[in-house]
Amino acid sequence: MKLDLVLRELHRAETAMAKDLLKASGRHHAEHEIHHLARDLAGWSAAHVRDIARAGRAHGLDLGEEVPGPGPLEPLRTALSELGGRRPEPGVLLLADLRRLHRRAAGVSLDWELLAQSAQAAKDTEMLELASRCHPQTLRQLKWTNAMLKVLAPQILTS
Protein backbone atom coordinates (compact mmCIF):
# COMPACT_ATOMS: atom_id res chain seq x y z
CA MET A 1 0.00 0.00 0.00
CA LYS A 2 1.27 3.48 -0.83
CA LEU A 3 -0.54 5.59 1.78
CA ASP A 4 2.87 6.60 3.08
CA LEU A 5 3.59 8.37 -0.23
CA VAL A 6 0.35 10.32 0.02
CA LEU A 7 1.06 11.23 3.64
CA ARG A 8 4.58 12.44 2.81
CA GLU A 9 3.34 14.65 -0.02
CA LEU A 10 0.44 15.96 2.04
CA HIS A 11 2.82 16.77 4.90
CA ARG A 12 5.14 18.63 2.51
CA ALA A 13 2.25 20.52 0.90
CA GLU A 14 0.60 21.53 4.19
CA THR A 15 3.96 22.68 5.55
CA ALA A 16 4.52 24.80 2.45
CA MET A 17 0.98 26.18 2.73
CA ALA A 18 1.53 27.25 6.33
CA LYS A 19 4.86 28.88 5.48
CA ASP A 20 3.41 30.70 2.44
CA LEU A 21 0.48 31.98 4.48
CA LEU A 22 2.83 33.29 7.16
CA LYS A 23 5.01 34.99 4.55
CA ALA A 24 1.98 36.63 2.93
CA SER A 25 0.74 37.73 6.33
CA GLY A 26 4.02 39.44 7.11
CA ARG A 27 4.42 40.90 3.65
CA HIS A 28 0.94 42.46 3.72
CA HIS A 29 0.87 43.69 7.30
CA ALA A 30 -0.81 46.94 6.17
CA GLU A 31 -3.74 44.96 4.76
CA HIS A 32 -5.21 43.98 8.11
CA GLU A 33 -7.75 41.45 6.81
CA ILE A 34 -5.06 39.65 4.81
CA HIS A 35 -2.54 39.84 7.66
CA HIS A 36 -4.78 38.45 10.40
CA LEU A 37 -6.76 35.90 8.40
CA ALA A 38 -3.64 34.50 6.71
CA ARG A 39 -2.16 33.92 10.18
CA ASP A 40 -5.31 32.11 11.29
CA LEU A 41 -5.33 29.95 8.15
CA ALA A 42 -1.63 29.17 8.64
CA GLY A 43 -2.58 27.85 12.08
CA TRP A 44 -4.99 25.43 10.44
CA SER A 45 -2.25 24.13 8.15
CA ALA A 46 0.17 23.85 11.08
CA ALA A 47 -2.42 21.76 12.95
CA HIS A 48 -2.83 19.59 9.83
CA VAL A 49 0.96 19.07 9.72
CA ARG A 50 0.91 17.84 13.33
CA ASP A 51 -2.05 15.55 12.64
CA ILE A 52 -0.43 14.12 9.51
CA ALA A 53 2.83 13.50 11.38
CA ARG A 54 0.97 11.64 14.13
CA ALA A 55 -0.99 9.59 11.61
CA GLY A 56 2.20 8.84 9.69
CA ARG A 57 3.73 7.06 12.67
CA ALA A 58 1.25 4.21 12.14
CA HIS A 59 2.77 3.81 8.68
CA GLY A 60 6.37 3.91 9.86
CA LEU A 61 6.92 7.55 8.90
CA ASP A 62 8.88 10.05 10.95
CA LEU A 63 7.45 13.39 9.82
CA GLY A 64 8.12 16.59 11.71
CA GLU A 65 5.24 18.06 13.69
CA GLU A 66 6.39 21.67 13.64
CA VAL A 67 6.13 24.22 10.86
CA PRO A 68 9.17 26.51 10.80
CA GLY A 69 8.33 30.10 11.69
CA PRO A 70 8.38 32.96 9.22
CA GLY A 71 12.13 33.35 9.65
CA PRO A 72 14.53 36.19 10.29
CA LEU A 73 13.17 38.33 7.44
CA GLU A 74 9.72 38.69 9.06
CA PRO A 75 10.48 42.06 10.73
CA LEU A 76 11.83 43.41 7.43
CA ARG A 77 8.73 42.25 5.52
CA THR A 78 6.51 43.91 8.12
CA ALA A 79 8.46 47.16 7.98
CA LEU A 80 8.36 47.23 4.18
CA SER A 81 4.64 46.51 4.27
CA GLU A 82 4.05 49.46 6.59
CA LEU A 83 6.21 51.76 4.45
CA GLY A 84 4.52 50.70 1.23
CA GLY A 85 1.05 51.19 2.62
CA ARG A 86 -1.54 51.10 -0.10
CA ARG A 87 0.58 52.04 -3.08
CA PRO A 88 -0.20 50.18 -6.31
CA GLU A 89 2.99 48.07 -6.30
CA PRO A 90 2.12 46.26 -3.04
CA GLY A 91 -1.34 45.61 -4.50
CA VAL A 92 0.13 43.77 -7.46
CA LEU A 93 2.36 41.83 -5.09
CA LEU A 94 -0.70 40.98 -3.00
CA LEU A 95 -2.47 39.61 -6.07
CA ALA A 96 0.60 37.51 -6.90
CA ASP A 97 0.70 36.16 -3.35
CA LEU A 98 -3.02 35.36 -3.38
CA ARG A 99 -2.66 33.58 -6.72
CA ARG A 100 0.23 31.52 -5.31
CA LEU A 101 -1.77 30.70 -2.18
CA HIS A 102 -4.79 29.73 -4.27
CA ARG A 103 -2.74 27.33 -6.38
CA ARG A 104 -1.10 25.90 -3.26
CA ALA A 105 -4.50 25.40 -1.55
CA ALA A 106 -5.86 23.68 -4.67
CA GLY A 107 -2.94 21.25 -4.61
CA VAL A 108 -3.37 20.54 -0.90
CA SER A 109 -7.09 19.97 -1.46
CA LEU A 110 -6.30 17.46 -4.17
CA ASP A 111 -3.88 15.67 -1.84
CA TRP A 112 -6.59 15.42 0.84
CA GLU A 113 -8.89 13.90 -1.81
CA LEU A 114 -6.23 11.36 -2.73
CA LEU A 115 -5.78 10.42 0.92
CA ALA A 116 -9.53 10.10 1.46
CA GLN A 117 -10.02 7.93 -1.62
CA SER A 118 -7.02 5.74 -0.77
CA ALA A 119 -8.11 5.38 2.85
CA GLN A 120 -11.60 4.43 1.76
CA ALA A 121 -10.27 1.78 -0.60
CA ALA A 122 -7.93 0.43 2.10
CA LYS A 123 -10.69 0.58 4.71
CA ASP A 124 -8.40 2.71 6.90
CA THR A 125 -10.95 4.51 9.08
CA GLU A 126 -8.33 6.60 10.90
CA MET A 127 -6.95 8.07 7.66
CA LEU A 128 -10.44 8.62 6.32
CA GLU A 129 -11.41 10.44 9.52
CA LEU A 130 -8.27 12.60 9.28
CA ALA A 131 -9.08 13.58 5.71
CA SER A 132 -12.74 14.21 6.58
CA ARG A 133 -11.72 16.49 9.44
CA CYS A 134 -8.96 18.46 7.71
CA HIS A 135 -10.06 18.73 4.09
CA PRO A 136 -12.97 21.12 4.79
CA GLN A 137 -10.53 23.62 6.31
CA THR A 138 -8.35 23.41 3.22
CA LEU A 139 -11.43 24.04 1.09
CA ARG A 140 -12.10 27.11 3.24
CA GLN A 141 -8.56 28.34 2.56
CA LEU A 142 -9.19 27.86 -1.15
CA LYS A 143 -12.49 29.75 -0.98
CA TRP A 144 -10.85 32.60 0.95
CA THR A 145 -8.08 33.08 -1.61
CA ASN A 146 -10.63 32.98 -4.42
CA ALA A 147 -12.88 35.53 -2.70
CA MET A 148 -9.94 37.86 -1.97
CA LEU A 149 -8.83 37.67 -5.60
CA LYS A 150 -12.35 38.51 -6.79
CA VAL A 151 -12.65 41.46 -4.41
CA LEU A 152 -9.16 42.90 -4.76
CA ALA A 153 -8.32 42.33 -8.42
CA PRO A 154 -10.74 44.94 -9.80
CA GLN A 155 -9.62 47.53 -7.24
CA ILE A 156 -5.91 46.93 -7.76
CA LEU A 157 -5.85 46.42 -11.51
CA THR A 158 -8.07 49.35 -12.44
CA SER A 159 -6.54 51.99 -10.17
What the chain holds in terms of domains, given with CATH numbers, is 3-60+74-157 (1.20.1260)
Q: Is residue 86 predicted with pLDDT exceeding 60?
A: no
* Model confidence, pTM: 0.86
pLDDT digits (tens, 9 = 90+) for 4-29: 899 999 999 999 999 999 999 988 98
Residues whose CB falls within 8 Å of the CB of residue 158, separated by 6 or more in sequence, listed in order:
none
104-145, pLDDT tens digit by residue? 999 999 999 999 999 999 999 999 999 999 999 999 999 999
Angle formed at CA 19 by CA 49 and CA 108, multiple of 5 degrees: 55
